[in-house]
Amino acid sequence: MRKQAFTILAVFAIMIFSCKTDTQQTFDSVSTIAPLEGLPKNKAGETVRKAIDFIGGWETWENKKTFSFYKNKIISCKRGGTMNVLIIADMEGASGIDKSNADWTHCGSQPWENYGRKAITDDIKQIVSHCMKLGAQRITILDSHDKGNSILREEFEGIHWLSMIFDVEKINDTYDYAILAGFHSKTRLNGILAHTFRPDIESVEINDNDIGEIGALIYLLCEKGVPPVLITGDYHCILEAQDLLPSIEGVEVKRKLDNETRFYSREEIDQQLQIKLKTALQGIDSFNPIEVKSPLKAKVTLNIEDYISDLKARDLGDMFQIEGMSLVWTCDTIEQFWSKFIYLIKILIMESTILKKKNAIFINTLVDKFKELAQNDNYIKEVLYDLSTPYNLQVFTQSHRNQIEKKINDYLFAKNA
């Protein structure tokens, strides 16, 4: 009992003392500080010395993994007084969402408003709670999904906010660690709602490596000196992250099975978060960041041919080279990659708007042309209904439009033959 009391006294005395003194020292010098040298020459200082000697001295403190969390808190205090955490949130990887209710992720839709926002908000609230339990004093959330307004901000207090994927350029080295929440795997992987940034992007590569959203963010965080310690999402999303960065912990909120999705309960997710986040922070001192060899060759491959012809007509200067269905450029850093990539996304948003208008005109023309037939022909009715979905408005190309019109005309010809 006496040893336990001295241990607790030592832990909290060092925490308090370390956070109140020498706060202006640089982070690099923290690991070389001998905290006992600065203890006051009075009765309180003597009590702390005895308590630390009783548990085996400062070296024992440093080597005991049991105390690593408190040691991290001291280091964080030395960085400037607070533990500063960044949470980057997407939406497709939120618990409760899969292909059957993908419209929960469509910003502005009724399902998104009624169900999707609550799903991702509940996930983020759980993460924030565990971060605070483990010492986080300042938390910034980057709501990166679509327009950056999916998380219900009114359900949080004292949170700092960044909005949309464009705000990744505001990420700097002031964060102690980062968490990727609600993420999905990249296109070509068999994950739930797998894609790479946008429906019109087939892949994103750096130095011939297909990296997806997860890789692009992990690369940036590593370059900024912010350890990405945890990711939440489905099984394939975690696999993708750990293949790139083995040290990152994963909290699986759902798993794709043969004919259904296995969703984990809030209690199961909570247990995972408690264990995995604590484990991640215990190893944060030995974090080994990914170093990407410079110069970087970036390549973004699109899947809509209409865009390529439009992009060729644009004056892109020396920013991008067009190679087939891909846009290619070189740069020296991941930060520079993101700067050009964000510019490209803004161009794609404009192209998407143009394409939606083309498709809306096409669909309305077909509906007008065949609406009388559709009243008595289920096949035509079904085709016209499928055409009107928001997803098709976004991804149809000229060749798709030609195929659809030909399909309807061939059907009518065969029917009347």
Lookup: tokens for 7: 């241990």
Q: Where residue 299 falls among pLDDT bands split at 50, 70, 90?
A: very high
Mean pLDDT computed over 88-92: 97
Q: Where residue 395 falls among pLDDT bands split at 50, 70, 90?
A: low
276 pLDDT higher than 70: yes
Average pLDDT, whole number, for the chain?
82
Higher-scoring residue by pLDDT: 397, 211: 211
Nearest CA to 206 out of 197, 224, 219 is that of 219
Q: What is the pLDDT of residue 190?
A: 85
Percent of the chain with pLDDT over 70: 76
398 pLDDT higher than 60: yes
Vertex 293 angle, CA 292 and 297, to 5°: 95
Instruction: Report the C-alpha gap between 280 and 69 in whole angstroms.
Output: 10
- Greatest mean pLDDT range, 49-53, 343-347, 399-403: 343-347
Q: What is the pLDDT of residue 31?
A: 36
Q: Cβ neighbours of residue 399 under 8 Å, at least 6 residues apart?
A: 305
- Exposure class string for 11-43: b at 16+ Cβ within 10 A, else e: bebbbebbbebeeeeeeeebeebebeeebeeee
Give pLDDT tens digits for 111-132: 999 999 999 999 999 999 999 9
Q: Which residue has the tokens 């995995």?
A: 276
Q: Where residue 368 falls among pLDDT bands split at 50, 70, 90?
A: confident
158 pLDDT higher than 90: yes
44 pLDDT higher than 70: no
Q: How many helices (H) and strands (E) does the chain have?
A: 15, 12
Q: Cβ neighbours of residue 194 under 8 Å, at least 6 residues apart?
A: 184, 185, 186, 187, 188, 236
Q: What is the pLDDT of residue 376?
A: 72
The Cα diameter of the chain in Å comes to 105
Dihedral sign of CA atoms 321, 323, 325, 331 in order: negative
Q: Where residue 216 falls among pLDDT bands split at 50, 70, 90?
A: very high
229 pLDDT higher than 60: yes
Q: Amino acid letter at 329?
A: W
Q: Where residue 391 falls among pLDDT bands split at 50, 70, 90?
A: low
Q: Do strands 261-263 and 160-163 pair parallel, antiparallel, or not at all (unpaired)?
A: unpaired
pTM: 0.74
Mean pLDDT computed over 269-280: 96
Higher-scoring residue by pLDDT: 61, 320: 320
Q: What is the pLDDT of residue 9?
A: 55
Q: Where residue 19 falls among pLDDT bands split at 50, 70, 90?
A: very low
Q: What is the pLDDT of residue 73?
A: 47
Q: Cβ neighbours of residue 68 under 8 Å, at least 6 residues apart?
A: 281, 282, 285
Mean pLDDT computed over 33-52: 62
What is the three-class DSSP state of 261? strand
**Cβ–Cβ under 8 Å, residues 328 and 320:** yes
What is the three-class DSSP state of 79? helix
| Low-confidence winner among 97-106, 117-126, 293-302, 347-356 (lowest mean pLDDT) | 347-356
Q: What is the pLDDT of residue 32?
A: 35
Q: Which residue has the tokens 């998407």?
A: 352
Mean pLDDT computed over 224-239: 97
